[in-house]
């Protein structure tokens, strides 16, 4: 069987960040990346694509061009991990052996969990920025919108970039205002969650801005059915169980999400099916030669590329020590739960939420109050972040903004 020192499952943000550094250190033919897709997407760009501010092509690069020079790309998907045999099973039934495994397959979109959604998505004004196949439709439908109800949803499951569900609502509101359609429209955000955002400081900003823009926010309001042909959406109240039918002219849906099913099938997941790693060291709780980062891991923080950045730095240190048999869990690098979500609130403004999901406390980089919307943070998000992603994170040289934060705090 083909065998590698390190096998990485997934060539997304986390998989590439880790394999870049590890393959450079271990040399040729030591690291294999298993990734089925020919195209890699910078997903954070999709919020802008949905609002017509960037193109989908802009967010895409051929996978081939991103595979580190010393790593081997296996163009296939993993269907099972056999942790007792140190091997993974691929889509064609073949197997690959590993000494160490990094699990980074991201999160799965479960469109089928909302009745009628699969049948209506991409038609009748029903769309989502969460998939490459529908993100451009979001902008098409927004351009065609001539007034009425524009409804934006958020499910009750964990999702990647929890802020994106409402960011697209703010951007749509902005578009309607600029095109003199605002007085003919209702902008409604229906979230299954009990809070508008998990961190109070930024929740307060989002609530204030929604009020200023007359965006109606309904919490504990979960989408359960889409009747595309009738342009009706059914919502269930999380407290009373009551059902309510909304008529829509535009319906932006964030689908329910969950861990890729092979994780539970392989018995490397926790009860909820996320890869069961120590939330600080990112080492598997049962198999010391398995590590995980990113959206598929069980780390209880917001699933973002920003979190992946910091996790990648921690994981690389601990993995390299494990390879040289000098890993000591009591003296290991530790992930602090850092995550960030640039909350685009329209009108060229961003509230840059930065926090630890573990403490729920803000962890801001810049020497001003990031709870206030800012034009410079909008520029950072739209123009600088993609450069950091492509040229630093994926190349293994960006492990988060901790250094910048330290630097500002010395100056301050």
Residues lying near ligand FAD in the complex (CB under 6 A): 9-15, 34-37, 43-44, 46-47, 77-78, 104-106, 129-130, 160-161, 164, 260, 262, 294-296, 303-306, 308, 340-342
Note whether 103 and 61 are within 8 A (CB): no
* Greatest alpha-carbon span in the chain: 66
Active-site residue identified among 8, 341, 343, 385: 341
For 52-94, list the strands marked E by DSSP.
60-62, 71-74, 78-82, 87-90
59: partner contacted, choices ligand UQ1, ligand FAD, none (Cβ within 5-8 A by kind)? none
In the complex, least distance from residue 135 CB atom to ligand FAD, rounded to whole angstroms: 7
Alpha-helical (H) ranges within 242-304 are 261-265
State in angstroms the smallest separation of the CB of 358 from ligand UQ1. 17
Strands 87-90 and 95-103: antiparallel
381 conformational bin, left if phi > 0, alpha if psi -120 to 50, beta if neither: alpha
Q: Which is nearer to ligand FAD, 43 or 365 (CB)?
A: 43
C-alpha 20/C-alpha 390 separation (Å) is: 12
Task: State the Cα–Cα distance between residues 368 and 239, nearest whole angstrom.
Answer: 38
Q: Which is nearer to ligand UQ1, 243 or 379 (CB)?
A: 379
365 binds ligand UQ1 (CB under 6 A): yes
| 9 binding partner (options ligand FAD, ligand UQ1, none; Cβ < 5 to 8 Å by kind) | ligand FAD
Least Å from the CB of residue 54 to ligand UQ1 = 13
Annotated active-site residue in 16, 161, 345, 377: 161
For ligand UQ1, the closer of residues 44 and 83 by Cβ is 44
The listed partner (ligand UQ1, ligand FAD, none) that binds 153, CB under 5 to 8 Å by sort, is none
Q: Select the residue interacting with ligand UQ1 from 116, 228, 342, 371 (CB under 6 A).
A: 342
Residue 68 or 342 with smaller CB distance to ligand FAD: 342
Q: Does residue 309 belong to the site contacting ligand UQ1 (CB under 6 A)?
A: yes
**Residue 299 is a catalytic residue:** no
- Per rule CB under 6 A, is residue 44 in the interface with ligand UQ1? yes
314 binds ligand UQ1 (CB under 6 A): no
- 134-142, long-range: CB within 8 Å, 24+ apart, which pairs? 135/46, 135/49, 135/50, 135/56, 136/49, 136/56, 138/49, 138/50, 138/51, 138/168, 138/252, 139/49, 139/50, 139/51, 139/52, 141/250, 142/50, 142/51, 142/52, 142/172, 142/175, 142/250
Establish if 197 lies at the interface with ligand UQ1 (CB under 6 A): no
Is 161 a residue of the active site? Answer: yes
d(Cα 398, Cα 388) in Å, to the nearest integer?
Answer: 7
Task: Give me the least distance between CB of 176 and ligand FAD, in Å please.
Answer: 20
Task: Look up tokens 């997903």; give the residue.
Answer: 43
Paired with 291 in beta bridges are 102, 283
**Cα of 301 vs its chain's centroid, Å:** 11
Kindly list the residues in this chain that would bind ligand UQ1 in the complex (CB under 6 A).
44, 305-306, 309, 340, 342, 354, 365, 385, 388-389, 393, 398, 400-401
Catalytic residues: 161, 341
């Amino acid at each position: 069987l083909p065998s590698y020192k390190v096998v990485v499952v997934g060539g997304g943000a986390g998989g590439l960040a880790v394999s870049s550094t590890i393959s450079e250190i271990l040399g040729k033919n030591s690291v294999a990346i298993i990734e089925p897709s020919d195209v890699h997407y910078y997903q954070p760009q999709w919020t802008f694509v949905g609002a017509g501010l960037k193109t989908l092509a802009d967010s895409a690069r051929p996978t081939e061009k991103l595979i580190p020079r010393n790593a081997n790309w296996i163009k296939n998907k993993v269907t099972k991990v056999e942790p007792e045999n140190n091997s993974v099973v691929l889509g064609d039934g073949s197997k690959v052996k590993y000494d160490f495994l990094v699990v980074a397959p991201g999160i799965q979109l479960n469109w089928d969990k909302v009745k009628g959604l699969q049948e209506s998505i991409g038609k009748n004004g029903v769309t989502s920025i969460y998939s490459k196949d529908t993100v451009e439709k979001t902008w098409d439908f927004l351009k065609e919108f001539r007034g009425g109800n524009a409804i934006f949803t958020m499910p009750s499951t964990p999702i990647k970039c929890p802020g994106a569900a409402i960011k697209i609502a703010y951007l749509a509101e902005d578009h309607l205002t600029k095109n003199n359609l605002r007085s003919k429209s209702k902008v409604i955000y229906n979230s299954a969650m009990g809070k508008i955002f998990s961190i109070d400081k930024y929740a307060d900003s989002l609530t204030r801005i929604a009020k200023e823009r007359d965006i109606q926010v309904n919490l504990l309001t979960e989408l359960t059915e889409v009747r595309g042909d009738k342009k009706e959406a059914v919502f269930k109240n999380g407290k009373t169980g009551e059902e309510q039918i909304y008529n829509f002219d535009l319906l932006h849906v964030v689908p329910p999400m969950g861990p890729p099913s092979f994780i539970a099938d392989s018995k490397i997941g926790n009860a909820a099916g996320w890869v069961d790693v120590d939330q600080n060291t990112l080492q598997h709780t049962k198999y010391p030669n398995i590590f995980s980062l990113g959206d598929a891991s069980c780390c209880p923080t917001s699933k973002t590329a920003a979190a992946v950045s910091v996790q990648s730095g921690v994981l690389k240190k601990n993995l390299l020590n494990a390879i040289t048999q000098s890993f000591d869990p009591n003296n290991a690098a530790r992930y602090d739960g850092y995550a960030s979500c640039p909350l685009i609130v329209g009108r060229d403004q961003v509230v840059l939420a930065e926090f630890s999901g573990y403490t729920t406390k803000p962890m801001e980089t810049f020497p001003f109050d990031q709870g206030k919307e800012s034009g410079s943070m909008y520029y950072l998000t739209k123009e600088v972040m993609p450069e950091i992603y492509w040229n630093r994170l994926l190349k293994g040289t960006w492990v988060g903004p901790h250094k910048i934060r330290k630097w500002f705090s010395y100056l301050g």
